[in-house]
Amino acid sequence: MHYALAPRTLFFSHYFYTGLRIAAGVVGLTGLVYHFADLPTAMAVAIGALCTSMMDLPSPLRHKFNEMLAGVLTSSLVALLVGLCSPVQWLLRTVIVLVSFLASMMTVYGRKAMPLQFVALFVMMLSSGAAATPLQALRQGALFFAGGAGYMAYAMAVVWILRRRLKQQVLAEALYELASYTCIKAGCYDMANFLPAQMEKLVRQQSALAERQQASRDLVLRGKPKAAEAVLVQVHYAMFDLYELVLSTHTDYALLRQHFAGGPVLPLLGDLIGKAARDIESVAYAMTRNRPSHAAVDYGDPLRALDAALRALPPADSDDFNAQAVLRATSNKIRDMIAMIARLHEASAATHGTLPMAAGADLTPFLTQQRYSIGIVLSHLRWTSPTFRFALRVAMAISVGLLSAEWLPYKSHGYWTALTIAVILKPNFSMTRKRRTDRLIGTLVGCLLTAVILHVVHAPAVLIGVLFVATAAGPTFLSIKYRYTAIAASMQALLLIGLTVPHGAGAIEERLLDTVLGTLIATFFSYVLPSWEYQDLPRLVDAVVDASRTYLDAAADLLQGRAVDDFRYRINRKRFMDSLGNLSAALGRMLDEPAAQQRAPAELNRFTVQNYLLMAHMAALRLLLLRYAANMPRAEVEAALDGAFAKVRSNLGAPPPADTAAPDGRTVWIAAWPGWAPLQRRLRLLQQDAALVALSSAAIDGVLGRDAHRPASKTARTEWN
């Protein structure tokens, strides 16, 4: 369950703060205008404010300003354009098709543009309800602009005042995801869990974690952090160090299960990692409450029990020696992880601190950039573009929805049909399917709740209070539980009708019928000009292969002392994680599509998991060399690394760098250095998983019927050299 769905944590999350801020701004601005003007004026201002509030997302201040300004201008211009064309039916329908198409083309800019698309469609539908004179259209557009600009000024002021609080909340969300990731790690030691399925869960959670970590980077590291924010920066960096430690705890779980099943060791390891997950969660919870965190988890008893269990192990024979060595190495890593969590507590409890990055360090490559060039849209005006096909699909569906509404026995709320289509119809089939279910259930529940409330409650003040709660709940659950947002949106619309048109009988039944009709139309058009996920798989697989090669190259330079610092390693690790997350997300969406449109799901699962393991092995190698840095035989270690990396490069389809001599294949045993045996084991696992990546990649190519990564490999080979 998402952390923000639990009452204990919901009211301290940025989701609740955002919902409360939006409700206060929209309702407050509407009440203020209504105090000085009539109800139609207040409602027009309210719609402008509501549209702008849809762009009120957790973002850096400059990004938020640009996003909300785009919402203000879009809603005003669309309202003006549709209002001017409304007297001429053929012209109005032409504009509706054009606005629907252009608004949907904006999704080419990514997820942040999705609310802007809905804003344009929402205003278009509201403005097309009745014919307006040019003066009325100008007035309507001006009122929309006033409402949007007023809300924007209010929201920017509130966010600027509470900017440190927002950074805390977004950073805490990344810590909650890290805690969930760590908890899944603990499940790997539970014999009741099927190991391949557990690894797949781990990869899915890693993708969610990477997304939250990026949000934390964008807010915490952007610009020049103030002295008061140095503690947040320290916690952010400590979180990433802890993540790398948790990542490095990946081990040969199958070997441990084979040799220690039924004994006390595996449950103890799982218990320790589970406690670590709860400990990380306690740091996140304290941060959401704006309080320092202190260690509350006691690791003493399980650590002592683990030490006793390790001492009680029988002398290892040739078969058990490797398993016991892996077990002891895992135990050491878990201790390091516990120590790092203690550092995380210390960082969060500090009253002041110094910035951990060098002064003037360029962090731009780690941050999300806003790029809204018109050339991006123009490049997608082609039949093969999924965005272009989606835009055509939306334009056709909304046109059919508005035409269908004209045949209904009532016409006062016919735009609800088109609004349902806009809510449900998304760029991919998976999201459309989920939105369809949530919208239907949410509308039904919202209508029933509103019917009960309007039947029992008649005091306007109480109804306004319920309306405020619904207005706050909508944006609160938008990205974590859309079904709740659908309930709140239905209640919000029907309560407004109940307050402004007390005798508007039949609104609830009309809402239900419009939703059902819109759902049927959206479902039909989800199969029109579809863009199935398997069509994009070759590009995503190639991106992962290329990213893994550049990541391995950067890791090799770092491990062998050729890099001045770990900047290149970190940026390539981020790109690798991003590409892996994109593939994992596409795979998850494909599994929600019809069975006839699914390609190579088992092979893609294996490919994703094995690439994730490559990243885990590199993190483990880095920490292993740091742990055993004393008296390290540098020449022999570098020779072993060169040999292993050459084999991994070969498996990934790239030759070794031009300035690296081919290893002679000899193995040197350095008995005096305690890190040699762990290094050999880890390098062996790295090579095994790289070979499995190659096998999975070949299997995917076979199913998709293409040559193995020809374009990507050509690019990658030039990078390696």
In which band, very low, low, confident or very high, does the pLDDT at 364 lie, cut at 50, 70 and 90? confident
In which band, very low, low, confident or very high, does the pLDDT at 699 lie, cut at 50, 70 and 90? confident
In which band, very low, low, confident or very high, does the pLDDT at 664 lie, cut at 50, 70 and 90? very low
Say if residue 389's pLDDT is above 70.
yes
Q: What is the DSSP letter of 134?
A: H
pLDDT number for residue 720? 30
Instruction: Supply the pTM of this predicted model.
Output: 0.87
538-557 burial, b at 16+ Cβ within 10 Å, e below that, comes to bebbbbbbbbbbbbbbbbbb
For all residues of the chain together, what is the average pLDDT?
85
Say if residue 562's pLDDT is above 90.
no
CA 284 – CA 8 distance, rounded (Å): 12
pLDDT tens-place string over residues 78-98:
999 999 998 888 898 899 999
pLDDT number for residue 508? 77
pLDDT number for residue 711? 39
In which band, very low, low, confident or very high, does the pLDDT at 175 lie, cut at 50, 70 and 90? very high
Q: What is the DSSP letter of 193?
A: S
Tokens representing residue 657 in the block: 């760098």
Lowest mean pLDDT among 22-31, 178-187, 388-397, 619-628: 619-628
Contact between 420 and 522 (Cβ < 8 Å): yes
- What sign results for the dihedral spanned by CA atoms 154, 159, 165, 171? positive
Closest alpha carbon to 692 in 619, 612, 625, 623: 612
3-state SS, one letter per residue, for 227-271: HHHHHHHHHHHHHHHHHHHHHHCCCCHHHHHHHHCCCCHHHHHHH
More confident residue, 231 or 499: 231
Closest alpha carbon to 255 in 708, 706, 682, 696: 682
More confident residue, 357 or 301: 301
Lowest mean pLDDT among 168-177, 633-642, 703-712: 703-712
More confident residue, 408 or 48: 48
CA 150 – CA 144 distance, rounded (Å): 10
Tokens 């441990």 belong to residue? 256
Gap between the terminal Cα atoms of the chain: 46
Backbone φ and ψ of 508, nearest 5°? -70, -45
Say if residue 709's pLDDT is above 70.
no
Contact between 51 and 43 (Cβ < 8 Å): no
pLDDT tens-place string over residues 521-542:
999 999 999 888 888 888 999 9
Tokens representing residue 101 in the block: 């198409």
Closest alpha carbon to 78 in 145, 152, 3: 145
Average pLDDT over every residue of 179-190:
94
CA 63 – CA 82 distance, rounded (Å): 28
CA 444 – CA 491 distance, rounded (Å): 10
Please state whether 292 falls in left (phi above 0), alpha (psi between -120 and 50) or beta.
beta
Which residues neighbour 371 within 8 Å (Cβ) at sequence distance 6 or greater? 109
CA 435 – CA 526 distance, rounded (Å): 12
pLDDT tens-place string over residues 648-662:
888 887 665 555 444
Say if residue 630's pLDDT is above 60.
yes
Say if residue 1's pLDDT is above 80.
no
pLDDT tens-place string over residues 240-259:
889 988 988 888 888 899 88
Average pLDDT over every residue of 685-710:
79
